[in-house]
Chain A
Amino acid sequence: MLGTWLVIGVSVAYLGVLFAIAFYGDRRADEGRSIIGRGTIYALSLAVYATSWTYYGSVGRAASSGVGYLSIYLGPTIMLALGWLVLRRIIHISHRHRITSLADFVSARYGKSVRLGGLIAVIAVVGVVPYIALQLKAVSTTFEIIRRAPRITPSSALDQVPLFQDTALYVALLLAGFTILFGTRHLDAAERHEGMVTAIAFESVVKLVAFVAAGITVTWGLYHGFGDLFGQAAQAGHSSLFTLGDSTGTWVWLNVLSLFAIVLLPRQWQVGVVENVDERHVRQAMWMTPLYMLLISVFVLPIAAAGLLRFGSGAEADTFVLTVPMAAGLDAVALLVFVGGLSAATGMIIVETVALSTMVSNSIVVPMLLRRGYSGRLAKLILLARRLSIVAIMLLGYAYFRLAGESAALVSMGLISFAAVAQFAPAVIGGLFWKGGTRDGVMTGLAGGFAVWTYTLLLPNFAATGWVPRGFLDHGPFGVGALRPEHLLGITGMDNISHGMFWSMLVNVGCYVGVSLLSRPQSREQAQAVLFVDALHDPSRPRLWRDRVSVQALHEVLVRSMGHRAAAKALEGVDLQSGKDADADLVHHVETVLAGAVGAASARMMLTSVAGEEQLGVEEVMEMLDEASQVAALEERHRLARELHDSVSQALFSMTLHTRAVELALQKQGGDPDGPVARGITELRGLTQDALAEMRASLFQLRPDALREDGLAEAIRKQSAAIASREGVVIAVDAPGYRLSLDDRAEEELFRVVQEAVHNAIKHAGPSRIDITLADEDGVTVEVADDGTGFDPAAVSSSGMGLVSMRERMKRIGGGLVITSTPAGSTTIRAVLPPETGTAQAGDQR
């Protein structure tokens, strides 16, 4: 005998435990002793996938269509098996770019498009809110059933409970509190919510234990094991249990749906990607989460069989997990099952609202504020927006449940939600593996797929609820049969999910691929495409911005959007008072930090407001183009080099000859050697010679393989000659006459270091002479010494990103960088590559 108050007490106690665990998790995290630093917690948190819909609903499915229910677990297993390929890639990219949600991810991939992020957020909200409603319904229904124990009340016989007696409302409010408390602790949405994740992992354990306990009790307590149970079921004629109830086509579609759902559902993205602390955890999840699914699905059939035996095939199978133990008088088990269902529902609701609220705030609210020119403090506003959206989503879910809860149609919302998020698949998967996908392609694909989804799946569901007239379904709009939502173009013989998926995916993928192939991506899109597709090959490079931006301006942007503390932390070690311009690395760093708080698209908008448009340098663009266009670009460069050589170089050479001829003629005629004509001609000859040197250097730069052809020393000589004539400084190059045996990479990095060092010297030290020395003794040493004004290396070491990048270059090839400089004197930058590193021989021995 379970009283109402007992059930309420247990529920409240359970939620209390949940709060306590979340508190504990967060406290441990604050103390720096994180408990989610292990794969087990990650794998368990992924099991938030199993909601009350699967918890109760699987048994219902099994009762009517046998092992068909397995597809819900099989799809994720397949996806996780591919986890290393797909999930790890997504995680890698998301962490590097501090991506906060799926909307953010897709928007960032396709050129940080604001509109795209907004569209995805809208689809996610529309697709998932009914799913939240479904969870609330489960809580409400099971509560009503269990509190009437031992009487078994079919949920259809339950009247709508009055608003203020509805458990679902209180659960929704409590969960909103929980989510705000543990889901919006930091402004930086890319930071982890350790307490929340710990609680979710705990919930996963609870629902597994509850379900398995129910299964064991039923199988061995009420019957004598599997054999007995299935034997009796077979005898009683419940043969549906042993069939694959769905058609093969449907079954395949269900697998595909759940395969995508395990990654693309907002909550799955949240725990799987955003909350992931270590890519290696994916490896553990690859076997542990499928094992979890296997365990939780083992007893589905036995419980379904027991339910059918006890209540007959007309009974409501969706609540068998609860009603079978209740009917057998196993109150404690029933209560445990109820708590398990509660945990399945609450886990889903908590994570889903966190994920959706991040999307809503970062992809809809913040961009809107920025677009309207909002210039106040954003930090508090963003948190407020996120908290308000949590409450709004929760209430929206609840309202949907109250409005549609009576109809059986709500139950089918689970799969319809899956179908909604499956619309993201082409954008995400294509974005990961295909550089050709463009923003326009994704926009059309998503919009088209979503429209078809709405028409073929959502509208019919509304019709079943009574919100849309039924005639619409049966005869099509305006009586046009070909437009019947569930039988587009007269297709029959498919169930509505397969039908909707077929059409929406056809439109989605078709538009995505078609429009992508037809449209030309902008350079920014291409850049992002390369960053995402080649994510694992480490191509991280800072972007260039059109306008210079001071460090202070960056600081202000950070303060505005994240508050003083976070801004100070982000710019730790950077001199804020100097009034200097920030270099590309620093701007990039700030953009990444901002992206964590407001999303990639908004971060870009904010930086654009202070730094001008993002601009890609010729070299960056070249590097980012994909291989095909890279070849084309190289050919173009070669052609350009050839043409310049053919026209300008030859003309310049001829000019030096002509001017020399004029000089000689002047001498012969006995003209004044110090007169204006003679001096002018001499000057002219010098200029022409310089122009020729410059030309050679730029031709050299246009041919990227020139460094390899000419070798390091020659490349430095040519480059220096050009810079020397342009900047009016003396650059002396002392290098061995033979070619150093360096591998390509070392050669490239050393060349860039020298280039950067010379550039820095000229820009900051104002030297009259630069000496470049290349020595090949005991490893390779390159020294760039200037006689300029110098600086204090200790003062700039942390902020001088130029030096940092030179150091990094040397580190990459196993060398080091030594800088000696005094504020009063000259600067020497010495790059040292120890023997046996970066040399061609070392490469041979591998």
Chain B
Amino acid sequence: MSTIRVFLVDDHAVVRRGMRAFFEMLDDIEVVGEAGDGQAALDELAVRAAAEDLPDVVLMDLLMPRLDGIGATKAIKQLYPQVEVVALTSFSEAERVHVALEAGAAGYLLKDAEADQVGAAVRAAVRGQVHLDPAVARTLTRSLVAPQRTATALTPREREILVLVAHGKSNRDIAASLVISERTARTHVSNVLNKLGLASRTQAALWAVREGLVSGT
């Protein structure tokens, strides 16, 4: 069995070093390269593609400067479909998982996973399976079974607020543009979230786009 060739992308050198040290001890996995952000990773991979030396799996942090993990994942899957990407991050919010999986990630790990899980996720990705952290799996199920509400549940004022949220406005902005207090704006936003059974403003924004309240970009 040939070794699995892994490429590390993380803006924390300390994490990359730990990863390297760990994979060095595994017989079936070797680290072929690393990068400090999404853009550097793409550059590096382009060089490797020319030399026909692409890795099998990219371990991808999501939160990085320049180009973040989602963008990098999308680009990698587009340019080199044969390369698998496993997302590795500290956040377990449902919408991040969604977005990462939609971008083409073949796994989603949390940065408090045990070392062996990281190895398992890499192997699963090569086998064409999707490996999810247990906590992530729970979050995902939750968001799948979450009741889908409709915009009719909202009052006109709340719809107005939702549109502003979808445009990325902060509570302060909303308060200013509707001439209400910031406290009131916050209450409205949390009412909207409650009614729609959503957990964050981002979800609310996505929801608004999906329901056609605002046009997506």
Instruction: Identify which of A645, A709, A741 gathers the most chain B CB atoms within 10 Å of its CB.
Output: A709
Contacts of B197 in A (CB 8 A): 739, 741, 840
Let me know if B114 and A656 touch, CB within 8 A. yes
Q: Quick check: is B30 within 8 A (CB to CB) of the other chain?
A: no
Let me know if B138 and A737 touch, CB within 8 A. yes
Cβ-Cβ contact count across A and B, 8 Å cutoff: 101
A43 CA to B153 CA in the complex, in Å?
A: 48
Let me know if B22 and A657 touch, CB within 8 A. yes
**Distance of B191 from chain A, by nearest CB (Å):** 8
Per-residue CB contact flags for chain B residues 190-216 toward chain A (1 = under 8 Å, else 0) read 110111010110000000000000000
Per-residue CB contact flags for chain B residues 55-96 toward chain A (1 = under 8 Å, else 0) read 000000000000000000000000000000000001011000
Q: Quick check: is A246 within 8 A (CB to CB) of the other chain?
A: no
Which of B44-52, B100-108, B139-147 contacts the other chain? Answer: B139-147
Contacts of B93 in A (CB 8 A): 709-710
Per-residue CB contact flags for chain B residues 94-136 toward chain A (1 = under 8 Å, else 0) read 0000000000000000011011101000000000000000010
Let me know if A840 and B195 touch, CB within 8 A. yes
A655 CA to B111 CA in the complex, in Å?
A: 11
A559 CA to B113 CA in the complex, in Å?
A: 58
Q: Which of A592-615 contact B (CB under 8 A)?
A: none
Instruction: Identify which of B93, B111, B199, B200 gathers the most chain A CB atoms within 10 Å of its CB.
Output: B111
**Distance of A115 from chain B, by nearest CB (Å):** 35
**Interface size classification for chain A:** 35 or more
Let me know if B112 and A692 touch, CB within 8 A. yes
Q: Quick check: is B167 within 8 A (CB to CB) of the other chain?
A: no
Using CB atoms, name the residue of chain A closest to B118: A657
Contacts of B90 in A (CB 8 A): 645, 649
CB within 8 Å for A714 and B139 given contacts A661-B24, A664-B25: yes
Q: Which of B4-35 contact A (CB under 8 A)?
A: 12, 14-15, 17-19, 21-22, 24-26
Contacts of B111 in A (CB 8 A): 649-650, 653
Contacts of B12 in A (CB 8 A): 646, 650, 654
**Distance of A44 from chain B, by nearest CB (Å):** 41
Contacts of A660 in B (CB 8 A): 22, 25, 114-116
Let me know if B115 and A657 touch, CB within 8 A. yes
Q: Which of B15, B138, B182, B200 contacts A709 (CB 8 A)?
A: B200
**Distance of A635 from chain B, by nearest CB (Å):** 12
Contacts of A159 in B (CB 8 A): none
Q: Quick check: is A665 within 8 A (CB to CB) of the other chain?
A: yes
Instruction: Identify which of A646, A654, A693, A710 gathers the most chain B CB atoms within 10 Å of its CB.
Output: A654
Let me know if A657 and B21 touch, CB within 8 A. yes
Contacts of A668 in B (CB 8 A): 25
Using CB atoms, name the residue of chain B closest to A651: B14
Contacts of A646 in B (CB 8 A): 12
CB within 8 Å for A658 and B18 given contacts A693-B112, A711-B142: yes
Q: Quick check: is A843 within 8 A (CB to CB) of the other chain?
A: yes
Q: Which of A714-758 contact B (CB under 8 A)?
A: 714, 717, 737-739, 741, 743-744
Per-residue CB contact flags for chain B residues 146-174 toward chain A (1 = under 8 Å, else 0) read 11000001000000000000000000000
Let me know if B21 and A658 touch, CB within 8 A. yes
Let me know if A654 and B15 touch, CB within 8 A. yes
Q: Quick check: is A708 within 8 A (CB to CB) of the other chain?
A: yes
A650 CA to B25 CA in the complex, in Å?
A: 20
A846 CA to B193 CA in the complex, in Å?
A: 16
Using CB atoms, name the residue of chain B closest to A741: B197
Let me know if B21 and A739 touch, CB within 8 A. no
Q: Quick check: is A31 within 8 A (CB to CB) of the other chain?
A: no
CB within 8 Å for A689 and B114 given contacts A709-B200, A843-B194: yes
Let me know if B18 and A655 touch, CB within 8 A. yes
Let me know if A738 and B183 touch, CB within 8 A. no
A737 CA to B191 CA in the complex, in Å?
A: 24
Let me know if A653 and B141 touch, CB within 8 A. no
Let me know if B190 and A738 touch, CB within 8 A. no
Contacts of B116 in A (CB 8 A): 660
Using CB atoms, name the residue of chain A closest to B137: A737
CB within 8 Å for A654 and B138 given contacts A649-B90, A709-B93, A738-B146: no
A627 CA to B24 CA in the complex, in Å?
A: 52
Could you list 19 examples of A-B contacts with CB < 8 Å? A627-B182, A650-B12, A653-B15, A657-B15, A660-B25, A660-B116, A661-B22, A689-B112, A708-B190, A708-B193, A710-B92, A714-B139, A717-B135, A739-B142, A744-B194, A840-B197, A843-B194, A844-B153, A844-B194
Sorted nearest first, the 3 A-B pairs with minimum C-beta distance are A654-B18, A660-B115, A657-B18
- Besides A655-B18, A665-B25, 10 other CB < 8 A contacts? A645-B90, A646-B12, A658-B18, A660-B114, A660-B116, A661-B115, A692-B112, A744-B194, A843-B194, A844-B194
